[in-house]
Structure 1
Amino acid sequence: MVEQIRRRLAGALAPVELEVLDEGHRHAGHANAGKGHFHVRIVSPAFAGVLPIRRHRMVYAALEDLMDHGIHALSIDAKSP
């Protein structure tokens, strides 16, 4: 799943920096523990002049069909260069 997320974001947002972490291990005891919890840190020129909420929407749009099929929770740190 990490590689799928990476490919989708790279294709949609052409980041200059991209880090995708599987954080499932940090959610022991929670609903869906160990499955589908990810953190994305992305720096892309596509975010220049874009408000943070819109940046998150851009990330979600790139991952749209994965949100119901593999991603349970996603934390996003999206910045412009």
Structure 2
Amino acid sequence: MAGSVQQEMEDLLKEAFSPTRLEVINDSAKHSGHAGDDGSGESHFTVVIEAPAFADKSRLERQRMVNRALGDIPGERVHALAIQASAPVT
């Protein structure tokens, strides 16, 4: 079952980008006891997102777009966020 932060991230990304592919993967269990593990079970995530909005954007621009869409989640509510953002291949 998706946790509350995971579901919120999915909802925000769907609303911002209407992605053709979206995976929000909770990696927190792999980091149990490590720096940034707050015990919530929702401290480390990977986002795999494919959306037309990323066409002609650099990797850095895509990551910034995702971070903006997620608001205060990265860095405040989530310790680590890996982002794999791409545009659909046409």
**TM-score normalised by length of structure 2:** 0.83
Matched, 1:72 2:76: no
Root-mean-square deviation over aligned CA pairs: 1.3
Percent identical pairs in the alignment equals 40
- State the match for 1:61 in structure 2: 68
- Confirm or deny that 1:44 pairs with 2:48: no
Aligned positions, number: 81
Stretches of structure 2 that go unaligned for 5 or more consecutive residues are none
**Unmatched 5+ residue regions in structure 1?**
none
Distance in 2 between residues matched to 1:65 and 1:80, nearest whole Å? 24
What is the CA distance between 1:35 and its match in structure 2? 3.9
Matched, 1:16 2:23: no
Within 5 Å, which residues of 2 pair with 1:23-34?
23-33=27-37, 34=41
TM-score of the superposed pair, with normalisation by structure 1: 0.91
Of the three residues 4, 8, 24, the one matched with 1:4 is: 8
